[in-house]
Structure 1
Amino acid sequence: MRGKCGLFHTSYASESHFFQTGFQKICLAVFLGLMLCSPLFLSNYQVSMLIMINIAVIGAVSLNLLTGCCGQISLGHGAFIGVGAYTTGLCTLAGWPFFAALLFGGFVTAVVGMIFGIPSLRLKGIYLAIATLAAQMILSYVFLHWESVTGGAIGMGLDAPVVMGMAFDNDARMFYLTFGVAAACVLLVANILRTRHGRAFVAIRDFHQSAESVGVNLFSYKLQAFAVSSFLAGIAGGLWAHYTMYITPEQFDIMLSIQYLAMIIIGGLGSVLGSIFGAVFVVLLPEGLGILAQFAGTFFPNISSYFLALREGIFGLILVLFLIFEPEGLAHRWRLIKAYWKLYPFAH
């Protein structure tokens, strides 16, 4: 019986491929086929959940690039998403093409992120987290009180996005739009991490003094991390704004930033795949808790109302349990599962 027992690379190019086996490529093709066909056999509500997952994936992978890969803790990611949402919405209301408005919203958010990323040269750890929390508070104040631009507490109404004369005015079309953009953003971040910029981000995260001693410009690369992360956050905000077609300041409060931070912790810091796992988990968690509350209500009618009231507390408890029992996230558990079956039945 002939055949290779394992992977044997003969060049760096072959080793750096995204998918190194035919089985991985087949799995990817099957996954993409299922995703593209999903609007045909899922309900509108289920498709809407997939749309929210696509948007959450973009926000989570952008935050993971900044926090998980570069080590710059951010508690203002929700506000950056809000900047992208308002900027994209204002541009489309002014008659801009949707993709032009979406990219411009990303660039404006990148500039705002770089401005608030300037203290990262001197601040690290919890001090940087407080600085980004200040960014969250400042931007939330702007969203609420700059009424001539944002609409204030009343909010801003938007139309469905139009691309090349096609209106994405239903869930199925919006799913394909958000899925395509999410796939492009994930591919972008995955490729950035394979470049010298990505290696510099990881070096800064692991030990900034060693990175600086080998020639890494800390200030430049930290600002680059803030810029790319904020740009992608702005893209997520623009998609969110045009999917909901109505945005208000309370949508981009500190709780949104905490949710995205929970996504990358649950999924796995520094992992693109972990960002996807975390986004799926956090978006579907309220739905799972609601189903569990209904199930409990069939046997204990008085418990279901308390269960729903404690939903936020249960979310915090799950996050704490992940920190204790699975600190490296779902991506690490997935790698262990793959390694087990790759060696099975010779686990040693």
Structure 2
Amino acid sequence: MSTATATGIHHRTYRAELRLRHTRAEYVRLALMIVLLLAAPYILDRYWLGIANTILIAVIGAVGLNILVGFTGQISLGQGGFLAVGAYTSAILSERAGLPAPISITIAVLLTAAVGAFFGLPALRLKGLYLAIATLASQEIIMFVVRRWEFLTEGKGFIEVSRLEIFGWTIKRQTFEVQWYWLLLAITIAVVVVARNLFRTGLGRSFMAVRDQDIAAQAIGVNITRAKVTAFAVSSGFVGLAGALTAHYTETVTWERFTLDVSVLYLAMIIVGGLGSIAGAVYGAIFMGLLPALLTELVELASATVPSLTEQLPAIRNAVFGIAIIVFLLVEPRGLDRIWSRIKDYIRFWPFRY
């Protein structure tokens, strides 16, 4: 379309229909986003850049979880456990086996995908609440192993990870957050692009067919067993990548980072962002990543008049966390992605109401 705000999208060729973006406005928004991402290291200080890095890792994990829950309809409460598998695997291989970080991270992704496929086998027989309980069991089993198996941490309770080195290039302490930002940004963009294009393939469409109606999907030739197990494997692979990056970024691996609270947090990200949307996973990770930091800033500002708020900060965070989920479920169950779509539609069709 030649206009910036198109009133309709009309495709004349299949190639045009398959493009990820169809209007000039979408390309303008993409350009603005690229400028913002490139300018972030020069605008943000070290504290906020560290939060940005944490959000980028969370985006990878949220995208993986949304593939399973939002696109395939298989609920999972084992996100923290799969993060732990990726983190511990990469840390052990890089520190004890001496493998280069790219290789250890790749093996961690593959192993986490295999573990996810194994724990996804109950999905062949279970649905809904029963499947949620089964994945919760996987979370508890993995946590039991990482807490009790002394081989993993050699009895220390944690694993120290050396500074990240990739083919002779090492992260420097002086520019730690900046260098990690560029690395994580590149990986996150690659993950988002891969996930976005996954659902343009037959495999991705089989995931959505299982979500919408598995019996009908099987009737038209979709292999339900393969689709469900593959969805768990692909989702867990993304999550394992997030776990491995967490290990190398924090340089310390400990089980406290992968508890059930983390699983609930990631589930909240895709609920707030929007189930069944890659963009929604990104929005949800940004929202839930910024929420604690913004609350801390507000409490510090208000503590001058109400000093007791500082002591109640953890409780305030939990309360706001719960309220945010409830509000989105009641007001807009399809999350931030749907809100953003409504805003775009309003601008596109203004001054008309439709």
TM range (shorter): over 0.9
Q: CA deviation at 1:301?
A: 2.5
Given that residues 91 and 253 in structure 2 are in contact (C-alpha distance below 8 angstroms), is that contact kept between their aligned partners in structure 1? no
Q: CA deviation at 1:90?
A: 1.3
- Unpaired segments ≥5 residues, structure 1: none
Given that residues 7 and 349 in structure 2 are in contact (C-alpha distance below 8 angstroms), is that contact kept between their aligned partners in structure 1? no
Secondary structure of 1:342's match? helix
**2:61 matched to which residue of 1?**
59
* Change over 3 Å in CA distance of 1:110–1:308 after alignment to 2: closer
**2:46 matched to which residue of 1?**
44
Cα distance per residue 1:168-215 (max 9 Å; x no partner):
241111111111111111111111111111111111111111111111
1:148 to 145, 151, 163: 151
Aligned: 1:243 with 2:249: yes
**2:262 matched to which residue of 1?**
256
Given that residues 144 and 153 in structure 1 are in contact (C-alpha distance below 8 angstroms), is that contact kept between their aligned partners in structure 2? no
1:105 to 91, 103, 108: 108
After superposition, residues 81-120 of structure 1 pair within 5 angstroms as 81-93=83-95, 94-120=97-123
Q: CA deviation at 1:164?
A: 2.1
- Read off the aligned partner of 1:266 and give its amino acid letter: V
**2:29 matched to which residue of 1?**
27
**In percent, how many aligned pairs have the same letter?**
41
Cα distance per residue 1:137-184 (max 9 Å; x no partner):
000011111111234562000012111211124111111111111111
After superposition, residues 177-256 of structure 1 pair within 5 angstroms as 177-256=183-262
Q: TM-score, normalised by structure 2?
A: 0.94
Q: CA deviation at 1:322?
A: 1.2
**1:173 matched to which residue of 2?**
179
Distance 1:151 1:341 in 2: 59
* Equivalences, count: 347
Comparing 262-271 with 24-33, greater Cα deviation is found at 24-33
Comparing 152-161 with 319-328, greater Cα deviation is found at 152-161
- Unpaired segments ≥5 residues, structure 2: none
Q: CA deviation at 1:286?
A: 0.6
Given that residues 81 and 143 in structure 2 are in contact (C-alpha distance below 8 angstroms), is that contact kept between their aligned partners in structure 1? yes
Given that residues 293 and 308 in structure 1 are in contact (C-alpha distance below 8 angstroms), is that contact kept between their aligned partners in structure 2? no
Q: TM-score, normalised by structure 1?
A: 0.96
Given that residues 152 and 248 in structure 1 are in contact (C-alpha distance below 8 angstroms), is that contact kept between their aligned partners in structure 2? no
Secondary structure of 1:216's match? coil
Q: CA deviation at 1:116?
A: 0.3
**2:16 matched to which residue of 1?**
14
- Read off the aligned partner of 2:297 and give its amino acid letter: I
Secondary structure of 2:304's match? helix
- Read off the aligned partner of 2:27 and give its amino acid letter: K
Given that residues 60 and 191 in structure 2 are in contact (C-alpha distance below 8 angstroms), is that contact kept between their aligned partners in structure 1? yes
* Change over 3 Å in CA distance of 1:115–1:5 after alignment to 2: closer
Secondary structure of 2:127's match? coil
- Read off the aligned partner of 1:114 and give its amino acid letter: A
- Read off the aligned partner of 2:319 and give its amino acid letter: G
Secondary structure of 1:233's match? helix
